[in-house]
Structure 1
Amino acid sequence: MTESLEAAFITFIRLQQQSIYRLAFSYTKNEQDALDIVQDSIQKGWLALEKLTNTEQMKSWFYTILVRTAIDFLRKHNRVLLIGDEALQQLPEHDTYENLDLQQALQQLPLQLREVIILRYFEDLKIDEVAHILSLPVSTTKSRLYKALKLLKVELEQEEMMHHA
């Protein structure tokens, strides 16, 4: 393994640590569990680093490891994959989630829809990258994204009406 690949991985983890934690937390709703998943994922990533052929794909590659580690964790601990509404409420303050209405609306989404929104819009990944990370066909990813956006729009419109009432 080249030193530059190791250095690139370390830099990536440092720069993305908030996003990595936030994504893990969206699965667990628990700080310690999220930190465990992040730690596991970094270890798995480090051990598999030589398999990464293109450093430009590091984010997509690492998020795949993170999502699979989170899902394995939930299965191992018999946690349900459809995680409840307060998941994003306990996230550390971060500028990405400043819009409280959006944050509250996101909380209403089941995990399968929320994870697509987080990866696509908060992590700015392309649809095919999101599909790859979640091991889904692109068509399923698009339909989940569409459904999530439709639900969010309804949720946000209801918020708007409540504020203006």
Structure 2
Amino acid sequence: MIEELENAFITFIRTQQNSLYLLAYSYTKNEQDALDVVQDSIQKGWLALEKLTNRDQMKSWFYTILVRTAIDLLRKQKRVELIGDDSLLLLSEEDSYLNLDLQQALHRLPLQLREVVVLRYFEDLKIEDVAHILTIPLSTAKSRLYRALKLLKIELETEEN
């Protein structure tokens, strides 16, 4: 049974590697740090694999590990305050955002709002999974998503005019 779970984990990591990197990059804004976060998350996931009770929840379980690892790295580097810094608007070839205005507006959002949008729409997770990953109540996840979408709409309408 554990061997089957290990194989499922390996397959998950291989098929999701680009998404995992992009999610880590959305937090760290640095290629090397994002790669470190993914690597550390894989190691933590592998060591905690026996704690995964439902294989169908592997994606949200692993995303929780990855998000927490990214936040831990940012705390260590004391870079959380830099979220509003202009240097974070640098474009990356790896970023998959199709609309430059949307990308810039998204990066201007506070981290708490941006992470909900990224997980919900760019990672295509259910709002319940987003709340679980971020360890916040469902109502908080919904209100952050609503507030973020409202701010994005205002920002994008302002840029059009």
With the length of structure 2 as denominator, give the TM-score of the two structures: 0.91
- 8 Å contact 2:22–2:94 — kept in the other structure? no
RMSD of Structure 2 on Structure 1 (CA)? 1.7
Secondary structure of 1:136's aligned partner: coil
- Provide structure 1 residue ranges, at least 5 long, that are not aligned to the other structure: none
- In the alignment, the residues of structure 1 paired with residue 53 and residue 87 of structure 2 have an alpha-carbon distance, to the nearest angstrom, of 38
- In the alignment, the residues of structure 1 paired with residue 5 and residue 92 of structure 2 have an alpha-carbon distance, to the nearest angstrom, of 31
Higher helix share: 2
- In the alignment, the residues of structure 2 paired with residue 112 and residue 29 of structure 1 have an alpha-carbon distance, to the nearest angstrom, of 15
- In the alignment, the residues of structure 2 paired with residue 8 and residue 88 of structure 1 have an alpha-carbon distance, to the nearest angstrom, of 36
- In the alignment, the residues of structure 1 paired with residue 82 and residue 56 of structure 2 have an alpha-carbon distance, to the nearest angstrom, of 32
Deviation readout 1:78-104 (Å, 9 max, x if unpaired): 22256135546433345x411222112
Secondary structure of 2:83's aligned partner: coil
Q: Structure 1 residues 66, 88: CA separation in 2 closer, same or farther (over 3 Å shift)?
A: farther
- Provide structure 2 residue ranges, at least 5 long, that are not aligned to the other structure: none
Deviation readout 1:67-86 (Å, 9 max, x if unpaired): 11111111222222561355
Number of residues paired by the alignment?
Answer: 160
- 8 Å contact 2:28–2:34 — kept in the other structure? yes
Displacement, 1:144? 0.7
- 8 Å contact 2:45–2:62 — kept in the other structure? yes
Secondary structure of 2:80's aligned partner: coil
Secondary structure of 1:91's aligned partner: coil
Instruction: Output aligned runs, 1:23-34, within 5 Å.
Output: 23-34=23-34
- 8 Å contact 1:89–1:103 — kept in the other structure? no
Q: Structure 1 residues 14, 79: CA separation in 2 closer, same or farther (over 3 Å shift)?
A: same
Bigger shift: residues 81-90 or 121-130: 81-90
- In the alignment, the residues of structure 1 paired with residue 71 and residue 81 of structure 2 have an alpha-carbon distance, to the nearest angstrom, of 8
With the length of structure 1 as denominator, give the TM-score of the two structures: 0.89
Instruction: Output aligned runs, 1:28-43, within 5 Å.
Output: 28-43=28-43
Deviation readout 1:14-42 (Å, 9 max, x if unpaired): 11111111111111111111111111000
- 8 Å contact 2:83–2:110 — kept in the other structure? yes
- In the alignment, the residues of structure 2 paired with residue 68 and residue 135 of structure 1 have an alpha-carbon distance, to the nearest angstrom, of 10
Structure 2 partner of 1:79: 79
Instruction: Output aligned runs, 1:99-118, within 5 Å.
Output: 99-118=99-118
One-letter amino acid matched to 1:120: R
